[in-house]
Amino acid sequence: MMRRFPLEKFQNLDTPFYFYDMALLESTIKTIKRLIKDKPYHIHYAVKANGNPTIMKAIAAHGLGADLVSGGEIQAAINAGFKPEKMVYSGVGKTDREINLGLEHNIFCFNVESIPELSVISDLALKRGVVANVSIRVNPDIDAHTHRYITTGTAENKFGISVEMLVDAVKTAKRLPNIRLRGLHFHVGSQLTSMKPYAMLCDSVNGLLDYFDRLGISFEMINVGGGLGIDYDKPDVIPIADFEHFFDTFARNLKLRKNQQLHFELGRSIVAQCGSLIARVIYVKENRDKKFVIVDAGMTDLIRPALYQAHHVIQNLSAGGPGVETYDVVGPICESSDVFGVNEVLPVCHRGDFIALRSAGAYGESMASAYNMRPLPKAYFQK
């Protein structure tokens, strides 16, 4: 069954725009809440996946926390109603101004990515006469076999502190007067559709916890990050990610200590399927061996295909007859990578037809740019 879109409403709107199904967002969040209800689990929504204020408010209203990667995101999360005591803040390059903003709001946790960052946070906290809550981000050196630009947990990667330097970092954090070390933080990668990397992560965490037990060091919380993938090929068949299998993998494999809390940072899996990018066909163009559908959305509106060779399901929403054609679907931007699909079999396309690029709710609107001096895409919401 293909999702139906309210075309009569689209007639009066300027394309391209993002269109969000808020009912799907609601049922996705409800699924998560139901699955973790009786567990010591806490969810922080990774705002970088979609920072649209309406989306953020809807998620904050359910009581989820926020996972942030800049001062701008901290401010936006506060504006949207997320509670500072449920905010975690990651990033390899936190500036003094950004750290101060986190301290000012007394956020739940800074996910610290280096030993120099630990001392800077301690100094800034000392100046304000406060204590900073931190976790240490560990690079678990797990290859999640995802695209090289979205792998974050391997040794050659810039993120986190290597296992070899972890004891040093933990001891430094324990020694610094204005640091309260809450726990350890991990994030393996993004768009993971196999549970294997998560099971491997659990093994690593178990090993580290045993090791720190022997040193007499315990942690009140473990944060395993996010990265749960969605089905980009079947947005209508599988509109909600496999959260059951995901949480179950941690429940079965991770040996949490007594009263230890488990935190997650989920971005894509919460918002990806609720969003579509809606465009119109500007021209249908024929070259010697190819037919092109040129749409008015481009890589400035949705950069994932150009950046990660990602593919989003493409639909012609205005399809009239039974005939199909094979097209390359491309945008208007002056870059050869501005291509949404090659050899797409679509109902015959005409100028003015509405085209939907599905599963675009995550890393779509939030990564939009004004390259070529294009306006940023607008957003509309269906209750």
Ligand X SMILES: *Cc1c(COP(=O)(O)O)cnc(C)c1O
Q: Does 226 bind ligand X (CB under 6 A)?
A: yes
Q: Which of 46, 56, 138, 349 touches ligand X by CB under 6 A?
A: 46
Show the tokens assigned to 28: 């996705």
In this complex, which beta carbon is closest to ligand X, that of residue 69 or of residue 281? Answer: 69
In this complex, which beta carbon is closest to ligand X, that of residue 121 or of residue 279? Answer: 121
Contact present, 379 and 67 (Cβ < 8 Å): no
Strand-pair category, 179-185 with 132-139: parallel
Q: Does 231 bind ligand X (CB under 6 A)?
A: no
Q: Which of 15, 19, 60, 67 touches ligand X by CB under 6 A?
A: 67
In this complex, which beta carbon is closest to ligand X, that of residue 227 or of residue 364? Answer: 227
Q: Which of 263, 268, 280, 358 touches ligand X by CB under 6 A?
A: 268
In this complex, which beta carbon is closest to ligand X, that of residue 293 or of residue 368? Answer: 368
In this complex, which beta carbon is closest to ligand X, that of residue 153 or of residue 298? Answer: 153
Contact present, 360 and 276 (Cβ < 8 Å): yes
Residue linked to tokens 């689990």 = 41
- Shortest Cβ distance from residue 235 to ligand X (Å)? 16
Q: Does 265 bind ligand X (CB under 6 A)?
A: yes
Contact present, 78 and 105 (Cβ < 8 Å): yes
Q: Which stretch in 11-19, 24-32, 221-229, 241-249 sits in contact with ligand X by CB under 6 A?
A: 221-229
Q: Which of 59, 188, 262, 266 touches ligand X by CB under 6 A?
A: 266
List the alpha helices (DSSP H) in the chain: 7-10, 22-36, 53-60, 71-80, 96-104, 115-128, 163-175, 196-214, 243-253, 268-271, 304-308
Q: Which of 52, 90, 146, 249 touches ligand X by CB under 6 A?
A: 90
- The residue of the chain with the least Cβ separation from ligand X equals 267
Size of the site for ligand X (CB under 6 A): 17
Q: Does 48 bind ligand X (CB under 6 A)?
A: yes
- Shortest Cβ distance from residue 146 to ligand X (Å)? 9
170-173 LR contacts (CB < 8 Å, sep 24+) = 170/136, 170/212, 170/217, 172/115, 172/118, 172/119, 173/112, 173/118, 173/134, 173/136
Binding letters toward ligand X, positions 290-329, x by CB under 6 A: ----------------------------------------
Question: CA-CA distance, 272 to 270, in Å (whole number)?
Answer: 6
Residue linked to tokens 């481009």 = 298
Distances (CA, A) of 111 to 136, 248, 280: 6, 25, 42
- Shortest Cβ distance from residue 272 to ligand X (Å)? 8
How many separate helices (H) and strands (E) can be counted in the chain? 11, 17
Q: Which parts of this chain interact with ligand X (CB under 6 A)? A: 46, 48-49, 67, 69, 90, 187, 190, 225-228, 265-269
